[in-house]
Structure 1
């Protein structure tokens, strides 16, 4: 079976904003609450959850970051055509 990832993300327009959000998460702020407050993606309303996805379902930069991470990792900023992402890898299988 091909590897799948369950991830959440926060999408913002600037790298500076993404770094600021990442610092808040490292300081103990709740990822899901920050996603609801700051994410430009419709998934933000659900705490950033994207559900399960396999290879070829997301843009390359986002996918590469997710598939090279371990469960529980928080990554970013990851730049894509949509903006800057902070990514939380919830589960892998």
Structure 2
């Protein structure tokens, strides 16, 4: 299976999700059992990711809008260095000082919704904002391995 085939398969779960502006498909795509198909998502043991964490939904939406205006609205992937700048500006997590870098973490280390999104977001793709027990997040997936 080539790179283009993977992009088409994950289009509704990654890039397509980004381009949608607030539609209900954001809430369902890229999460749950539907994302664990033959594309390898959800099957790896470790993920490398950056994130932005905000207590208030309005603030995470501002951060996401900044990412949309710069890259996502054009269908582009957010470069990690640019995501890091937005994380430093908006994230309320201590990792924000490091550009939101969480490094490599194993399955089972992060709480429910965060783990679900992190392990089901294709490498290089930025998730839509979502809520966890800690607040509102945006994740940039940087790598995956077993």
Q: Is the 8 A contact 2:60 2:90 kept in 1?
A: no
Runs of 4+ that moved beyond 3 A: none
The structure where strand makes up a greater share of residues is 1
The structure where helix makes up a greater share of residues is 2
Residue 80 of structure 1 corresponds to which residue in structure 2?
A: 132
Larger radius of gyration: 2
- Per-residue CA deviation, residues 34-68 of structure 1 (Å, 9 max, x unaligned), is 11111110000000000001111001100000111
Give 1:16 shift.
Answer: 2.1
Residue 59 of structure 1 corresponds to which residue in structure 2?
A: 111
Residue 27 of structure 1 corresponds to which residue in structure 2?
A: 69
Unmatched tracts of structure 2, length 5 or more: 1-43, 72-81
Residue 4 of structure 1 corresponds to which residue in structure 2?
A: 46
**TM-score, normalised relative to structure 1:** 0.91
RMSD of Structure 2 on Structure 1 (CA): 1.6
SS in 2 for 1:76: coil
**TM-score, normalised relative to structure 2:** 0.59
Compare relative contact order (CA 8 Å, sep 6+) and give the higher one, 1 or 2.
Answer: 1
